[in-house]
Structure 1
Amino acid sequence: MRFIGGALAGPVGGGVARAALRALQDNPALERTNFRGRTVSLAGGPALALGATAGAIVHRPEHAAANAIAGLGAGAVGLYDDLVGGRPEHAAKGFRGHLGALRQGRVTSGLVKIAGVGAAGLAAAALLPRKRGIDVLLGAGVIAGAANLFNLLDLRPGRALKAGLAAGTPLGASGPLGAAGALLPADLDERIMLGDAGANALGALLGTAYTARAGTFGRLAALAGIVALTAASEKVSFTRVIEGHPVLNAVDQWGRRQEDSNNSEMSGKPAESKPRKPSPYPRG
């Protein structure tokens, strides 16, 4: 039965992602300007969240509730931040900025996203095997941490999806793989972007797939790696590391529009493939 689910998961994930993209991509409310001034659609985010979640449920129906909560929960709060995060009342920088805004009586979209992804990770982990308290907490950390890590990777067209394909293949996560593969050409061509909705959902689902297979030590090791990479991202640009490694750079550039290859910002800060929201305020 699992073999049948695994065989169907990829096509289901890809089919649902394509159908959702067709339904959403002409919505003007989802149009944004990317890092090179090109108009793109945020429809890729919810399309990926829906397709990857549907595929994951078909693949592992015994973990249907965990996958639904992780994928749709992380995707929903990410989409909320994508849509309203540029408004003045949501302006904040970093986790400390969001907490500072809360002390001032403002609940920012970034804080909603942080809390929502954390809650989704905790609920999903509690529904997976190994229900001891320490295992649930470690699993929640892996799921929420992976969601955030993929969001940090989503700085160039196709990068987060390529990372998802690389991470999902050894996990056998055929549902997310099908959705990621279906949307990769449009992402590389800069017709869509994942935004927080897609990147968070993809990371959360891959984190769920890993957590479902891992024991206490495996969860601890994965969480330590995620924390280390997240901390490193505060000091070192992922883009600079990738561009400085010939193999990683070749993979990163594959399939992308040629003019993007020479588009590093003069400041040295990586140009983000994130939506520029219609506001002069920075994102948190």
Structure 2
Amino acid sequence: MRTGAAQLVAGIAAAASRAALSGLARTPVARRFERTNHRGEPVTMLEGPAFAVGALAGTAAGAALTRGMTATGGRTHAAAMIATAGAATFGVIDDLAESRTSGPDVSKGLRGHLGALRRGSLTTGGAKVLGISAAGIAAAALAVPRRPGQSAVVHWADVLSAGGVVAGAANLVNLLDLRPGRALKAVAVASAVGAAPGCGTASGAAGHRDLLAACVGAGAAVLPGDLGERSMLGDAGANAAGALLGVHVIATAPRSVRLAVLAAIAGATVASEKVSFTAVIARTPVLRELDGLGRRTS
């Protein structure tokens, strides 16, 4: 995708996100998205649904602009929309349930939700894990075509591992949404890496940079409110952003890279259950400076 087309996709995504945020803020449901942030100040999580609307609008625009550019272009854009919409939908459900369920008996984190499932209890967080995983696998089935001569077993192993990348990326970005702007900055850095020359396959990387443009455009539209501590992504926005990035990876990267990314995501997710990302960032000068960039100091 040429630079001008990518900028158009980003602009459409940004405009859609801004319009969605403004429109949603005037609806009766807006109060259900109000929360208290780490400073004890009120914020809205409508940023998440607004980001998702922008990302979907940008993806749809990208599909129209890149039609015919790659053999699997239409399938990849459909996969991106399924993954993004699914992640956002289950994220909204979990965000809304969060205000009604609190206390020491509420399961927290991926390990807590999976533990509840093993005990026969389905939390909204557990439903989100299952729902996003299903959306990830459905997206992977579209974005990872069966190659000529490939057995069904190998193909479905590819699909399942690719689905794991999408769902895992959705969860990982959500784990970063603990301080203003942190998750969106991570998304921007990941998008820059994905758009760099030489990343992905020759045809896939060129044909699907519009997915990254949609992600960056939607993120840029909501970043000022996030950094200003007026709004936050919440599960809906963070999961949607991660899922969209995940689809770009599985659509452009060869199997070896997909598996390496899956291993890295799994490692970071397991580590998050024992190590505080915030503490690690605070101890690392470069990360600390990037994390605080543009954020309120008091």
- Pick from 65, 72, 77: which aligns with 1:64? 77
Quote the Cα distance in structure 2 between the aligned partners of 1:170 and 1:214: 13
Gaps of 5+ in 2: 65-73, 147-154, 196-211
Quote the Cα distance in structure 1 between the aligned partners of 2:108 and 2:268: 20
SS of the residue 2:35 aligns to: strand
Gaps of 5+ in 1: 260-284
CA contact (8 A) 1:30 1:42 kept: yes
Deviations 1:91-147 (A, max 9, x none): 323445435545666431111100011011001111113332122111101100000
Aligned residue for 2:43?
40
Quote the Cα distance in structure 2 between the aligned partners of 1:93 and 1:10: 34
Quote the Cα distance in structure 1 between the aligned partners of 2:163 and 2:216: 22
Quote the Cα distance in structure 2 between the aligned partners of 1:98 and 1:216: 29
CA RMSD of aligned residues (A): 2.0
Relative to structure 1, the CA distance from residue 156 to residue 97 in structure 2 (aligned partners, 3 Å threshold; closer, same or farther) is: closer
Quote the Cα distance in structure 2 between the aligned partners of 1:222 and 1:104: 30
Aligned residue for 1:91?
106
Aligned residue for 1:186?
225
Aligned residue for 2:157?
134
Bigger Cα displacement from structure 2, 7-16 vs 146-155: 7-16
TM-superposed deviation, 1:58? 2.1
Task: Please tell me whether residue 165 in structure 1 is matched to residue 165 in structure 2.
Answer: no
SS of the residue 2:143 aligns to: coil
Aligned residue for 1:262?
none
SS of the residue 1:76 aligns to: helix
Aligned residue for 1:119?
134
Residues 252-263 of structure 1: matches in 2 within 5 Å? Answer: 252-259=291-298
SS of the residue 2:169 aligns to: helix
Aligned residue for 1:174?
213
Aligned residue for 2:10?
10
CA contact (8 A) 1:85 1:91 kept: no
TM-superposed deviation, 1:215? 1.5
Quote the Cα distance in structure 1 between the aligned partners of 2:111 and 2:270: 15
Relative to structure 1, the CA distance from residue 144 to residue 6 in structure 2 (aligned partners, 3 Å threshold; closer, same or farther) is: same
Aligned residue for 2:149?
none
Amino acid paired to 2:100: R
Relative to structure 1, the CA distance from residue 88 to residue 191 in structure 2 (aligned partners, 3 Å threshold; closer, same or farther) is: closer
SS of the residue 2:43 aligns to: strand
Deviations 1:244-284 (A, max 9, x none): 1111111110111112xxxxxxxxxxxxxxxxxxxxxxxxx
Relative to structure 1, the CA distance from residue 166 to residue 97 in structure 2 (aligned partners, 3 Å threshold; closer, same or farther) is: closer
Amino acid paired to 1:9: V
Task: Please tell me whether residue 148 in structure 1 is matched to residue 161 in structure 2.
Answer: no
Aligned residue for 2:280?
241
Aligned residue for 2:22?
22
Bigger Cα displacement from structure 2, 20-29 vs 216-225: 20-29
TM-superposed deviation, 1:30? 1.5
Task: Please tell me whether residue 80 in structure 1 is matched to residue 93 in structure 2.
Answer: yes
Relative to structure 1, the CA distance from residue 167 to residue 97 in structure 2 (aligned partners, 3 Å threshold; closer, same or farther) is: closer
Quote the Cα distance in structure 2 between the aligned partners of 1:19 and 1:3: 24
